[in-house]
Structure 1
Amino acid sequence: MDKEKIAGWQRDLGRFLQIFNTELNVLTNVKLEEIIVMFERFRREGGTQTTPQGILPPGKPSLFVGRNDLVHEVTTLLIQTRHVAFVGTGGIGKTCLAKAVLNEPDYDDMDASQVSYDVFLDRMGGTLGLTLGGSDRLSVICAHLLAAPSLLVLDNAETFLDAAQDKTHIADAVDSLGALTSTVVLLTTRSRALPSNVLWAVIAVPALKPVAARKAFTAVFHKRIEDTNVIDSLLQSLDYHPLSINLLAHAARENDWSLEELLDAWNQQQTDLLHNGDGKSQSLIVTLELSLNSPALKKLGDSVLHVLQIIAFLPQGVDRRELGGLFPSLTGASMIVDAVCKQSITYRRDAYVTMLAPVRLYISTTYNSALPQVVPLLAGVRAYYRDRLEICGAVHGKVIDGGAWIIAEDINTERIVTLELTLLEDVIAACTICTSFLSHIRLHKPRPTAIHALIEAIPVPTMTPPKHRHYWRLRDSIHSLIGKQATRHGVAASAVAEAKGKCLHALAALACIVDDATVMFDLLVAAKQLFSSSGQKRGEAMCWRQIAELQCASGHMVAADQSFQVATRIMHDIRDCTGEAYLNEARGVVMAQKREMSQARLLFSKASKDLTAILDQTGRRGAEQ
């Protein structure tokens, strides 16, 4: 197969359980009528070629039984340019089916609360290798897909189609992609709420047939089964659910249970669930509880569940190399992590230990429902991420690891920031963490985030603005004399306003890279108002300067000059001579662009004299020392 014919594949499910558990596999530059020949050639050649981006489509699942007829049906629909949606419960095998279709010779750490329209488009654009700028990103993606026939696979689509924000815009975007004559969409989802303007061929993914279910179980169990009635009865009680079968088979294998022992354990756990008032057996839940209560895990104590709570909480899972830092109060963390991997509750993806979306969903809803009280290890995890942000410290003006940590852990870190902004146990600390995170992201991995609304929602206590402009200078002098123990309500309110302003200002700096000028302008205005009310005059002046620069870029020279004047006046009031000089220089540029040359020369001259005086003064101080 010509390697230049395939581009834009995402590698595996792992990274896409990070923000919204979505896998985007894009097959481009391939005529749909050539899919049969192309994939046949790919299989003959061993599937070892690499694309120019070094990314290949995911391989067919190693354990895949009882689905050949369904794969053939879907392949036929795709060849007929029909859009297909796999619909079914978590763990039913939708992703495996999608991978199998992609490998047919005829032819997997942000949750839904972190998904936004910008995040959705940014992830898709990155998959396609596109640089998305400006406000009309969708048009750029559509234009790229129109260039050649494409197969677009959206896995775990319920996480973005039911996002906490912008889900209507995201659904409209999927509608637009489905309307492209060059593109066929294959979508997997637990929800039947599909974008309404695409004609979907909805395939309800069924459970395995009894014979296929038995084959899937014995492939893992690795023991001779003399009485098939016993295993058939057990599998029937599992409703032939693929994930449940896999987990239960691993539990039996690791604990060396006979079939009779396994059946007794299953029945006992199912009975306990009914006694808790559920009233109906849910095979996935019972199977997971059976694994959690297996002897191999029970002997490790309650710490097993505590570790699983954290793995479920962090979208990327936990870095196995950092278990000591993540769980400082826990002995034997490595042993516990290895044990839950053996039970197939979690799995390894590179250096991380994570879990499949259905397992994560169950652990989160059952055991993590009241954060942070019910998660004993969460305090240590929060402290770990706070410390790493400080150590790697964009806010301290130095980055000790070249940004490698935040690049690898950005999704998990955003999850912690989201929690801190939601709980607001310490507003100032939460804002400091948020500001640091945004600074790191801007420097090392610019991308949209989903914390804007949380920052906006930070409550600021009511303040009575002081009438005299020198109040804040007097307040700072008093603080230096008697310390912050003298802080009263008004000062506390100003501290909150200042901290929130810094968050918005950092978000504005990120928006300069990943959003349009309008978003940045609105954030700067909001930050400016908070800095003004809190007396953070240098921050206020900085916002005015950046607002003026945006106005210059958009050709609004009169407004820009006025904004520069306000910033200059503030710098003069706080006696920041250097800042005032640079602002005069910037005003001179504006005057020159307005062709007011005499005023421009005056401003340039004043800026030059002020900077020269500052340098001379600095030189004298150095000589005296």
Structure 2
Amino acid sequence: MASTSQRKRGRDDGRSALDADIQGLNHALDACHLQPAREAYDSAGALLTTIRDSTADEEDYMDLGRSCVDVCRALERGLEGGQPDQVSPSILEAIKQLTATLAAIRKETVNKGKRDMRSRLFNRKDREDAIAGWKQDLARILQIFHTELSVKNHTMLTDLHRHALARQESTTSQHQSTQASVTAGETPPPAPRAFFGREEMIEKVVGMAENLEPIALIGAGGIGKTSIALTVLDHSRIKERFGGKRRFIRCDKFPPSRSNFLRRLSQAIGAGIENPEDLDPLRSFLSSEEILIVLDNAESILDPQGTDGKEIYGVVRELCQFSNLCLVITSRITTVPPDCKTLEVPTLSMEAAHNVFYGIYEYGGRSDGIDDILSRLDYHPLSVTLLATVAQQNKWDNSRLAGEWGRRQTGVLQTEHDDSLAATIELSLASPMFRELGPDARGLLGIVAFFPQGVDEKNLGWLFPAIPDINTIFDKFCILSLAYRSDSFITMLAPLRDHLRPTDPTQSLLLCAAKDLYLTRLAVDVDEDSPTFGETRWIISEDVNAEHLLDAFTLIDADAKVIWDACADFMKHLYLHKPRQTILRSKVEQLPDDHPSKPKCLFQLSRLFELMGNHTEQKSLLLRLLALRRTEGNDFQVARTLRELSNSNRLLCLFEEGIREAKEALEIMERVGGDYSRARCLETLALLLLENNQLDAAEHAISGAINLWEEDQQFNICASHRILGRIYRRKGEREKAVQNFEVALGIASRFEWHNNIFWIHYDMAFLFCFKHEPDDAQAHITQAKLHAVDDTQ
């Protein structure tokens, strides 16, 4: 650590240096006849005096003073030998900017010295940020003065060699032009003021740029690629590494061709070569110093189907080979040179999206409604920004904003200056690569947009049998960042989905064809004993898509029996493979009672609630179904519904009510049903009597069921013997209980019904435990665990 005397010597040296600089500015002021420049010198002298008198012990302010002196010296050299009326308008404007900047800096520096302002306005972080901003302003003005000085020097050198030999004159002129232009170059656009949630990616890109690695930032339109690139260009470490050799080229601002790209590259790096035919004349400029070049919106020039696409690709690939050059590409398409390290730009985090939104929108506080809208936008940066901007410009409160979103969805994302999400998306659809995909491409995107999960990539051939090279087309969608892969599905971001989704599904021939394919798929028999049962497991991964399809088409044609029958089939698929609630429930309940599909839908819906354990809702649905069946006068269906209802009451422990319903079902089936139907009623009645402790009646009922089962109904025979074993266990008749459990276990083992095996072992373990036979009980517990694991697998 420096001693007190050392620090004092440092402050004294600093003040001496400032005194010398102030004296130099006074000399420049005396010698200058251009009034704007005199005002600038005067402001600079006043600022240095303030720094000397109040902040000379602070190195960051001393560094700011040195930056001020550098700018003034550049101005002095630029004006040297010229007349006031010969100064260019750009220099005059820059001098005025310099005077205003110096005055503003001095004002804040004076405020800094006031005790009551020090802690509130000038803590260390704020001070560092303020000084960094001022130095950036001074650096920008310094660049303008350097440019003017370079042009002036070039003119003088040209005059000096005017009478040289023609070849020497040509060579010298070209060299001087080159040197002047390299100094001039182009200053990158400023970084965005507010930028949230990209710290990790920016740090990664900065690190790669410091290693001079070629980088490609890939993502959909509006994802934030350009903002990341500009923030990297403005990063302190990048400025320190590359200084003024930081270039930014908007590739969508010139017609895509090899010659236009080379011309624009020459302008950006300051080579001054008007129409280079290739990189050869630019090579000396590109290789002279370390340089960072950003090619923004590079999909405009790297589209393989675009004008000179392959030739431009070759030039860009060659740029990646320069060892002193870092190339950063932002692009919607992934066709970038292989040397580029590709970074996929994700959407924002929830918190970053909130910061972006509320950094713009000031007419309402944070609310669940707004959070939901941002979530439905997938936290897409441009969409979040546009939503906040539109709401702010229109002064909408939270309620109005939620209402507009509900009415227009992403149609609301258009500002008064015609910045819109639609324009961003349509730009991708206008690309040569997309147009090359043919007339079905837009419709195919509409299918991806329609389905919430997107399209299962394994099913492309099944879903679009008439379209050749369908896999290639979907690959191109991903290359264009119009879609992306998520697990086995090809899907897209929510804002794109909302824009590209068919407004009228019936007008999309592709979607109507897809609907017919799904309906055919749902109609496949899903009985567990059916040989096609395994084929129906597709619903496990595509349940959301199938549900959305049915939901959409029930709105379009509420009376169509084929759609509602498919709804019942869908719920049956869920029952067997993925029991859960469904958004179709309210629509099923709202169907007219005379709709032919309503009973079937109510029945399948009640089964779902049974498996989910919500027996109150199951009973409610069955009571409505029972009323419909009684109105129809179909006794068989009345009895079937009564049996289901009695089972629901058993699960609700309403045994007396369930017994009455089971007996009524049995009476009807004695008249209209076969042996199988009567046996099912007896089985249900036996379970109710068992739970209600009417054991003799239960034994009589289940014995009657066993006598009615056919030989091929082994599953039912197994279940009935298990019930009879439970009855004997409850009655305390150990041997009879074991005998029936073993019959059931033999059948279940023969057919490898692991779930049944588990429960039979469980029942036998319970029996032996109750009879104080711990060894046998433990053996059956062990077997039950084995089959529980096997069943899970």
TM-score by length of 1: 0.48
More helix by share: 2
When Rg is computed on C-alpha atoms for both structures, the one with the higher figure is: 2
- Which gives a bigger RCO, structure 1 or 2 (Cα 8 Å, sep 6+)? 1
